[in-house]
């Protein structure tokens, strides 16, 4: 998978298979940068070092990882942090950040539909509501790989809600409720670096809709930036329309490297 090449493609397969957080962490924690992605995934398939319960699930995990991530380039910091032993609770939101760079539907669902429900004061979300959202995703720029049956839509809706729960944004079984969520400080700092890497200005970083992935408002972002400024972990100054934000590292990759230095 090349960076950005599938940014508008919607795959029911990857969403139905889910977040596979533990499996991804286990694979990335033993990733060998000296060999290719194919060789790393071949080792996974041949040895099943993650203890997959069946050959089919092992194959599906490898297929999802191959489709979602580019460990050599864009997703290298995510792999590096797993290898360094960043706790899975701090690593998990970074997985969501990287995963949504090419998972159009997961990103759109969280940034638009789920965040809007959250902002609107909804207490619970139901699969039927998500199915309604799925009925017009083509108008939002999504390209499905094939026409979806009603059963596929039901499975995708359930998959999206389960992924939100796996990333701690929701809780519950069939009918899910919003959970209280807070981004860990190191995760927040990493995302600031990643946003700057993408070319966003400081003002646009604060206002970026990407924070909605974590149900975070711009006011919440600015509050956290001010707190980090107070503790001298970054520099933040606002003068009228001019916003200055100085981060401790030159890139997200450098921040990932220095996190455990």
Q: What is the three-state SS of the chain?
A: CCCCCCCCEECHHHHHHCCCHHHHHHHHHCCCCCCCHHHHHHHHHHHCCCCCCCHHHHHHHHHHHHHHCCCCCCCHHHHHHHHHCCCHHHHHHHHHHHHCCCCHHHHHHHHHHHHHHHHCCCCEECHHHHHHHHCCHHHHCCEECCCCCHHHHHHHHHHHHHHHHHCCCEECCCCEEECCCCCCHHHHHHHHHHHHHCCCCHHHHHHCHHHHHHCCCHHHHHHHHHHHHHCCCCEEEEECCEEEEECCCCCHHHHHHHCCC
In Å, how far are 51, 107, 140, 236 from 93, measured between CA atoms? 24, 13, 25, 24
Alpha-carbon distance 157 to 143, whole Å?
A: 17
Average pLDDT over residues 70-85: 96
Over 80: is that where the pLDDT of 6 sits? no
Residue matched to tokens 């956290």: 224
- The pLDDT value recorded for residue 137 is 84
Alpha-carbon distance 158 to 174, whole Å?
A: 8
Alpha-carbon distance 138 to 148, whole Å?
A: 12
Helices 88-99, 21-29: axis angle to 10 degrees equals 100
Q: How does residue 175 score in pLDDT terms, banded at 50, 70 and 90?
A: confident
Q: How does residue 9 score in pLDDT terms, banded at 50, 70 and 90?
A: confident
Q: How does residue 2 score in pLDDT terms, banded at 50, 70 and 90?
A: very low
Alpha-carbon distance 259 to 78, whole Å?
A: 12
Whether the full predicted model's pTM is greater than 0.75, yes or no, is: yes
Handedness of CA 210, 120, 184, 108 (dihedral sign): negative
Over 60: is that where the pLDDT of 31 sits? yes
Q: How does residue 62 score in pLDDT terms, banded at 50, 70 and 90?
A: very high
Over 90: is that where the pLDDT of 165 sits? yes
Per the rule left: phi > 0, alpha: psi between -120 and 50, beta: everything else, 168 is left
Q: What percent of the chain has pLDDT over 70?
A: 97
- The pLDDT value recorded for residue 253 is 95
Average pLDDT of every residue of the chain: 92
Could you count the other beta carbons within 10 Å of the beta carbon of residue 83? Answer: 16
């Amino acid at each position: 998978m090349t960076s950005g090449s599938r940014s508008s493609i919607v795959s029911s397969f990857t969403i139905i298979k889910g977040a596979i957080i533990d499996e991804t962490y286990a694979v990335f924690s033993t990733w060998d940068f000296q060999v290719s992605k194919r060789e790393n995934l071949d080792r996974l398939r041949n040895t099943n070092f993650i203890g997959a319960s069946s050959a089919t699930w092992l194959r599906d995990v490898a297929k999802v990882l191959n489709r979602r991530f580019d460990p050599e380039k864009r997703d290298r910091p995510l792999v590096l942090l797993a290898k360094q032993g960043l706790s899975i609770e701090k690593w998990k939101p970074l997985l969501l950040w990287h995963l949504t760079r090419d998972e159009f539907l997961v990103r759109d669902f969280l940034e638009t539909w789920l965040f809007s429900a959250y902002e609107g004061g909804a207490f619970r979300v139901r699969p039927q509501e998500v199915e309604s959202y799925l009925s017009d995703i083509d108008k939002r720029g999504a390209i499905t790989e094939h026409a979806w049956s009603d059963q596929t839509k039901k499975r995708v809706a359930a998959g999206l809600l389960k992924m939100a729960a796996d990333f701690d944004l929701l809780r519950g079984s069939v009918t899910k409720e919003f959970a209280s969520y807070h981004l860990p400080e190191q995760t927040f700092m990493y995302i600031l670096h990643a946003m700057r890497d993408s070319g966003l200005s400081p003002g646009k970083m604060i206002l970026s809709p990407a924070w909605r992935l974590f149900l975070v408002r711009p006011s919440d972002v600015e509050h956290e930036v001010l707190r980090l400024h107070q503790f001298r972990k970054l520099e933040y100054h606002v003068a009228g329309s001019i916003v200055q934000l100085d981060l401790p590292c030159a890139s997200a990759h450098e921040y990932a490297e220095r996190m455990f230095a």
